[in-house]
Structure 1
C-alpha cells in the first residue's frame, strides 16, 4: 500500500514539474496540490466523526469540502490552472472563517485563528505581496468585527452556536497546527533550495564570465599578434616589391628596346598584381578587426571621378572596349567631405572587375545627384558593364570573402575573391551599401548612394601644406631641389637615386638612420626630406619630431614626406602628429612622387 502511494505521489510530482519550469512556481503548485490532498485526509477523518457524533451541519460542510477539494486537484493536474484553483481554495477557507463566526461558533476560537493564519501565510507564499495583503485583510476583518461587538451584542443571524464534540475539536486544532508547520517547512525548503541554486548559478556565471573574459583577452592578444604579424610581413613583402616595381619604372624611363620594354612591363604588371593581392588581404583583415581607418576631408568628386576614369581607360582600350564617364553637372566645382582614398578604392575595384569580365561592349561609370541642398548632396554612383553577368543564385555569395561566381570564373579570370567583400565593408563604413542588378549574359550594374556634406569651391582637391616652403621662391626645376633621402635599405636607395637621375635631380645626402637625418638637417639647408619611417637608432617619427623642435625656423620647417611599406591602421594620423607634411606608401608610383615634388615648387 505504501509503495502504491509513493508511486502515485512521484507521478504527481512529475506532472507538476512538467506544468511549471520555474522552481518557485513548482513549490507553489506542490504546496497547493499537497495541501488539497491533506485536506482530503482531514475530511476523511472528520466526516465519520460528525456523521456519528454530530453536529449535522459540520458533517455536511466536511462532505462539501472533501468533494470540492477532490475536484480542485483534478482541475490542477488536468488543465494547469493552479492559480485559479489556489484563489478558489483561499476563497473557500475565507467562507469557512466567516461561517464559523456567523453560524457555528459565533465567536473567535482557536481553530478560527489557525485558519486565518493559514490563509495569510499561504496567500503570501502562493500569490505574492498584493494578494497576501488583500486576503489577509479580508480574513482579519471578522476578528475586528467580533472585537467591536463583543460585550454589547453578538454578530449573528439568529442562528444558535453549534456544539463541537471534543475529539473533532482536538483533531481540527492539531491538523491546523500541522498544516501551518507544513506550509512554512515546504515553502522555505523550496525557497532555500532556490537560493542555493541561484548561488550556484551565480558562482558558475562568475566563473563563466571569468573564462569568457580570459578568452576575450586571449582573442584580443591573438588578433593583435595577427595584426602585428601581418603588418610586419606586409612591410617585409612590400619592401622588396618596392625595389622590383621601382627598378621596373626606372628601366622603362630609360627608353628601353621594344623587346626590353615588353619584359619590363610584364615584370611591373606581375609585381603590381602581387602588391594588389597583399593590399586586399591586409584591407580585409583590418575591416574584420574594426581598425579600418576612415578620413573626413574635402575633395572634388568631379575631378576624382575623372582621374579614376583616365587611369583605367588604358586597361579598357587594351581589351577593345570603351570606358565611358557620365557625371552630373551639379557636381562640377562641388567640394564634398569624405574619404577620397577609400572611395577611389571602391570605384577602382568595381571598374576593374567590370573591365575584367567584359569582352565586348562598354563599361560606364556614372555619378548622379539624387537630392541636394546647400549643404547636403545625395549622390548615386554606379558602374555598369555589358559583360558576362552574374547568375541570380550567386549574387549574394559574391560579396562573401574568398568567393567568386563559380570555379570556372576563378580559373579563367583569377583573383582572390576579396575585392567585393572589401567594397561592401568600405561602403558600410561610409554609411552606404552596395546594390547589384545583373543577368547572365547581358551585363552587371553595381550602384550605391552616399550622402556628402558639400560646398561650392574652385579650390584644389586637398589644401596644400603650409610649411616647408620658405627657400623655394626662386626654384623653377626639380633639378635644383636639395633633397635628403633617409633610407636604410640599399635597394630602395638605388631606386630613388635612379628615379632622381631620370628627373635630373641629384640627392644632396643619404642618411641611414634618424640620428644621421637630424645631424644633417642641423648642418644643411634642405628643401625636402624623404623620410623612411622604419630606421635603426631613431625612427622617422622621432627624427621628424626633433626636426620640428629645432631653434632655426628655416631648418625646422623643412618639407618632410614620409615613405613607408607599413600598413598600420593609424599611419596617416601618426605621420601628421609627428610633424610630417605628406605620406607616400611603398611601393610608390614615380608619378605620385614627381607630382608632390612639382607641387612643392608651385606652392611659392
Structure 2
C-alpha cells in the first residue's frame, strides 16, 4: 500500500516538473532525465556501500562523487527549469568516466566502459537531440576505437582491471547499466508510440472537423443564398407598391396642384422615399457584404458630379438654415477620371446627408482637393465638414458598424438605422482606401478619404461637337412590357407628360409579337412577368432577323435589386436598367441619351 502511495506521489512530482514544457517530446525527455537521476541515486548509494565494505578505496571515492552529483542534479531539476544543462553535465560526467577507464583506471575497455559509452550515445540523442547526440557519440566512441586500434594486442578487452575490484559491486553496476539502457529504449519507444497515436488521433479529429466545417460551409452558402433570394423577393414586393405611391406622387406634382395639395403630396413623396431609402440601404449592405460587387470604370467629371450632388441636397440644407459650401480644386477643371460615379455618389450623399441631419446651426462644406498628381494619376481628397453635434471619441469606431449610431438618443432625435456609414466604409474598401474621422463633441465633424484615379484632359471641342438634342421626346415610339396595372398606369401618365403614347404588352411574348408587327424606338421591359419574363424576351429580341428590331434599345424596369440582376440584365442584351420606383427625370435622361445614340 505504501509503495502505491509512493509511486503516485512520485508520478505527481514528475508530471509537475514535465509540465514546465509545452512540447510533448520535451516532456518525455524531462521524464527520462528524472527516471535516470532517480535510478542513479539508488545505484550510487548501493554501489558506494558495497565499495565501502569490500573496496577498493578508489571505487568508493568515485561512488561518493557520483552520489553527490546525483543529489545535486535531482535538486536542480526539481527546483529550476534547467533540465537541458543538467543533461549536458551528466553526458560530460559519463564521458569523463569512459575516458578515465581508458587512460587511468582500467587502461583498456571492459563491459562497464562500453556500457557507459552506449549510455551517453542513447541518452544524448534521446534527451538533447540530434546535434548534441552526434557530438557526444563521437566524443565517446572515437577514443574507444582509437584505443582498440593502437593497442594491437587486446581487442574488446573486458576484464583486466588495474587493481582488484569488488565482484558484487562490479556485477551490480554491469546489471544496472544494462537495465538502464533497456529502460531508456523502452520509455522512448513507449513515448514514441503515444505520440504517434496522439498525432493519428489529432489527424482523425482534424479530418472529422474538416468534414463538419465543409458541411457548415455548405449550409452557410445555402443560408446565404436563401437570404439573398428572400431579400430579392422582398425587394420586389416592397418596391412594387412603392413605385405606385412615388410614381403617382410625382405625376400629381407635375400637374400643377394647389399649394395645399402640393404640401400634402410632398409629405407623401418624402415619406415614401424615406422608406425606399431604408430598403435600398439594407439591400446595398447585403450586396456589399456578399463581396461580389464590382466597381465600374467609366469617364467621370468629378467637378460636375459633386455639383450635381450638392445641388440635389441644397434644398435640405436651406430648409434648416445652414450654409452649404462647395469647394473644388481648380486642378480638376476639365479633368476626366476613370471610376464608378454611382458608388462615389452613394458615399458622398451618405456623408453630406449625415452632416446636414446632425447640424442644427452653422454650415456644411464639401471639398475636392488634389493632394498628389503625376502625368497619368492623381489622388483626390474628398472631405465633408460640418459644425454639428460631433461624435465622442469612445463612439467614433462604433459608428462604422451596421445598425449602430453614437447613442440611443441620436436614433430617437435624428432617426435613421445606422447603415449609412457602414455602407460608406465597405464601398471605400472597394476603392482600396478608408474613411477618416476628426470630431469634437459640440463643435463639429470632418469625414475625409483619398482615392487615386487615372485621369485625362477633357477635349475642348467635346461640347461644341456634340449633336444638338432637342429637349423633348415628342413622337418617340415606346413599347412598355409590364403586367402590373398600377405600374402601367404610372408609366403611361409619366410618358404622357412628354407627349408619348406607349403601347402596352402584358408579358414578354406579347412584347415580341408587337415588336415584330411595328417599329419602336425604345422598349421599357419589366423583368418579372407571366408566360415570358423580361430576360427571355430580351434574348429573343436580340435574335430577331430584322437588324433594326433586334438592335432596339431596351431599358429594364425592375423592383428587384441584386448583383445577380445586374449581371443577368447585361447578359440578356439589355442596355441598362432603372430600379422601381424610379425618378421621372432619370427615365427622361435615359430616353434622351438612347435617342441621341440612335440618331
Q: Same fold (TM over 0.5)?
A: yes
Please give the secondary structure, in 1, of the residue aligned with 2:13.
helix
Distance 1:360 1:30, change over 3 A: closer
The reply on whether 1:493 has 2:494 as its aligned counterpart is no
Give, in whole Å, the separation in 1 of the partners of 2:94 and 2:394: 69
Residue 181 of structure 1: CA displacement? 1.0
Residue 258 of structure 1: CA displacement? 2.2
Question: 2:275 maps to which residue?
Answer: 274
Question: 1:549 maps to which residue?
Answer: 543
Distance 1:459 1:241, change over 3 A: farther
Question: 1:573 maps to which residue?
Answer: 567
Residue 153 of structure 1: CA displacement? 9.2
Q: How does 1:147-296 map to 2 (within 5 A)?
A: 147-151=148-152, 161-296=162-297
Question: 1:467 maps to which residue?
Answer: none
The reply on whether 1:562 has 2:556 as its aligned counterpart is yes
Please give the secondary structure, in 1, of the residue aligned with 2:19.
helix
Give, in whole Å, the separation in 2 of the partners of 1:8 and 1:164: 38
Question: 1:109 maps to which residue?
Answer: 110
Give, in whole Å, the separation in 1 of the partners of 2:501 and 2:590: 17
Residue 473 of structure 1: CA displacement? 12
Which moves more between the two structures, 430-439 or 325-334?
Answer: 430-439
Distance 1:44 1:601, change over 3 A: closer
Give, in whole Å, the separation in 2 of the partners of 1:229 and 1:460: 50
Write the deviation string for residues 423-446 of structure 1: whole angstroms up to 9, x where unpaired: 222222222222222333333222
Distance 1:73 1:476, change over 3 A: closer
Please give the secondary structure, in 2, of the residue aligned with 1:480.
coil
Give, in whole Å, the separation in 1 of the partners of 2:470 and 2:20: 92
Which moves more between the two structures, 331-340 or 110-119?
Answer: 110-119
Residue 477 of structure 1: CA displacement? 4.7
Distance 1:474 1:92, change over 3 A: closer
Residue 266 of structure 1: CA displacement? 1.4
Q: How does 1:403-552 map to 2 (within 5 A)?
A: 403-458=404-459, 477-507=472-502, 509-552=503-546
Give, in whole Å, the separation in 2 of the partners of 1:28 and 1:347: 65
Give, in whole Å, the separation in 2 of the partners of 1:441 and 1:28: 66
Which moves more between the two structures, 140-149 or 431-440?
Answer: 431-440
Write the deviation string for residues 212-250 of structure 1: whole angstroms up to 9, x where unpaired: 222222222212211211111011101111111111111
Residue 392 of structure 1: CA displacement? 3.7
Which moves more between the two structures, 291-300 or 361-370?
Answer: 291-300
Give, in whole Å, the separation in 2 of the partners of 1:428 and 1:533: 31
Write the deviation string for residues 125-182 of structure 1: whole angstroms up to 9, x where unpaired: 11222222221121111221122122369999xx982333432232222112111111
Distance 1:20 1:356, change over 3 A: closer
Question: 2:7 maps to which residue?
Answer: 6
Distance 1:150 1:441, change over 3 A: closer
Write the deviation string for residues 499-554 of structure 1: whole angstroms up to 9, x where unpaired: 111111011x2222222222332332211111112222332222222222222211
Write the deviation string for residues 409-428 of structure 1: whole angstroms up to 9, x where unpaired: 32222111211221222222
Residue 391 of structure 1: CA displacement? 3.5
Give, in whole Å, the separation in 2 of the partners of 1:33 and 1:219: 52
Question: 1:354 maps to which residue?
Answer: 355
Give, in whole Å, the separation in 1 of the partners of 2:29 and 2:461: 78
Question: 1:582 maps to which residue?
Answer: 576
Distance 1:50 1:439, change over 3 A: closer
The question of whether the paired residues in 2 share the 8 Å contact of 1:149 and 1:155 is answered with no
Question: 1:469 maps to which residue?
Answer: none
Distance 1:92 1:594, change over 3 A: same
- Which runs of 5 or more residues in structure 1 are unaligned? 463-471
The reply on whether 1:70 has 2:65 as its aligned counterpart is no
Question: 1:465 maps to which residue?
Answer: none
Residue 12 of structure 1: CA displacement? 2.5
Please give the secondary structure, in 2, of the residue aligned with 1:584.
strand
Distance 1:594 1:370, change over 3 A: same
Please give the secondary structure, in 2, of the residue aligned with 1:526.
coil
Instruction: Give the aligned CA root-mean-square deviation in angstroms.
Output: 2.6
Please give the secondary structure, in 2, of the residue aligned with 1:387.
coil
Give, in whole Å, the separation in 2 of the partners of 1:21 and 1:307: 65
Distance 1:578 1:204, change over 3 A: same
The question of whether the paired residues in 2 share the 8 Å contact of 1:104 and 1:163 is answered with no
The question of whether the paired residues in 1 share the 8 Å contact of 2:287 and 2:562 is answered with no
Please give the secondary structure, in 2, of the residue aligned with 1:580.
coil
Q: TM-score, normalised by structure 2?
A: 0.93
Q: How does 1:339-350 map to 2 (within 5 A)?
A: 339-350=340-351
Distance 1:155 1:476, change over 3 A: closer
Give, in whole Å, the separation in 1 of the partners of 2:219 and 2:89: 58
Distance 1:320 1:61, change over 3 A: same
Q: How does 1:23-172 map to 2 (within 5 A)?
A: 23-151=24-152, 161-172=162-173
The question of whether the paired residues in 2 share the 8 Å contact of 1:563 and 1:585 is answered with yes
Please give the secondary structure, in 1, of the residue aligned with 2:556.
strand
Residue 399 of structure 1: CA displacement? 2.3
The question of whether the paired residues in 2 share the 8 Å contact of 1:106 and 1:155 is answered with no
Distance 1:571 1:417, change over 3 A: same
Question: 1:372 maps to which residue?
Answer: 373
Distance 1:458 1:364, change over 3 A: farther
Residue 335 of structure 1: CA displacement? 0.9
Q: How does 1:390-401 map to 2 (within 5 A)?
A: 390-401=391-402
- Which runs of 5 or more residues in structure 2 are unaligned? none
